[in-house]
């Protein structure tokens, strides 16, 4: 991969990460369009580290507020729900590592996942919006959605 190709893919990552589309799926397609045959998903991980830094910068005040209120029961419950919601992604990520890695090299699977995401996003426009308190059940449900979103082309949105 050349420096120019890496910059192009970094721009794709930057534009797609905060949209309700899959940045990972678009990186896979971008590599295919540019003719980059790089085994594994090390580059995707690297650009996602850049995204992590931007998230930490953008949400710095929220993170600081959360950390300063650790003694609050509401904050403790919120952090517990985050941890519970992380478990399905850990299980899927480690349990299906080989399969998931192979999907990062399968443009057809990514295309199908992007279409699926589009259908779900379109269907969600008809969903009734509800503002509920979190519970361990919603944490697990959100965690399962996050686990499915490990698949390139499936958006966490």
Question: What is the dihedral sign for C-alpha 33, 156, 121, 63?
Answer: negative
Integer Cα distance of 114 and 24 in angstroms: 10
Integer Cα distance of 147 and 143 in angstroms: 6
Closest residue by Cα to residue 100 from 56, 148, 57, 52: 148
Integer Cα distance of 100 and 120 in angstroms: 21
Provide the 10 A C-beta neighbour count for residue 138: 14
Integer Cα distance of 51 and 115 in angstroms: 24
Mean pLDDT lowest among 15-29, 33-47, 86-100, 131-145: 33-47
Which pTM was predicted?
0.76
The pLDDT tens digits of the residues spanning 59-95 come to 999 999 999 999 999 899 989 999 999 999 999 999 9
Going from the C-alpha of 109 to that of each of 11, 28, 56, the distances in angstroms are 23, 10, 31
In this model, does residue 143 exceed pLDDT 70? yes
Q: In this predicted structure, what is the pLDDT of residue 72?
A: 92
In this model, does residue 43 exceed pLDDT 80? no
In this model, does residue 40 exceed pLDDT 70? no
Closest residue by Cα to residue 93 from 54, 12, 148: 148
Average pLDDT in the chain: 88
């Amino acid at each position: 991969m050349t420096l120019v190709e890496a910059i192009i893919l970094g721009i794709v990552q930057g534009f797609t990460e905060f949209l309700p589309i899959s940045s990972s799926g678009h990186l896979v397609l971008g590599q295919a369009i540019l003719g980059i045959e790089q085994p594994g998903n090390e580059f995707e991980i690297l650009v996602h580290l850049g995204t992590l830094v931007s998230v930490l910068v953008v949400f710095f005040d929220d993170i600081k507020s959360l950390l300063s209120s650790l003694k609050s029961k509401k904050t403790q419950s919120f952090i517990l729900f985050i941890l519970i919601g992380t478990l399905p992604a850990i299980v899927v990520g480690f349990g299906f590592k080989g399969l998931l890695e192979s999907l990062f090299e399968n443009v057809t699977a990514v295309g199908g996942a992007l279409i699926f995401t589009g259908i779900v996003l379109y269907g969600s426009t008809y969903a009734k919006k509800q503002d509920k308190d979190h519970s361990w059940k919603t944490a697990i449900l959100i965690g399962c959605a996050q686990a499915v979103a490990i698949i390139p082309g499936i958006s966490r949105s």
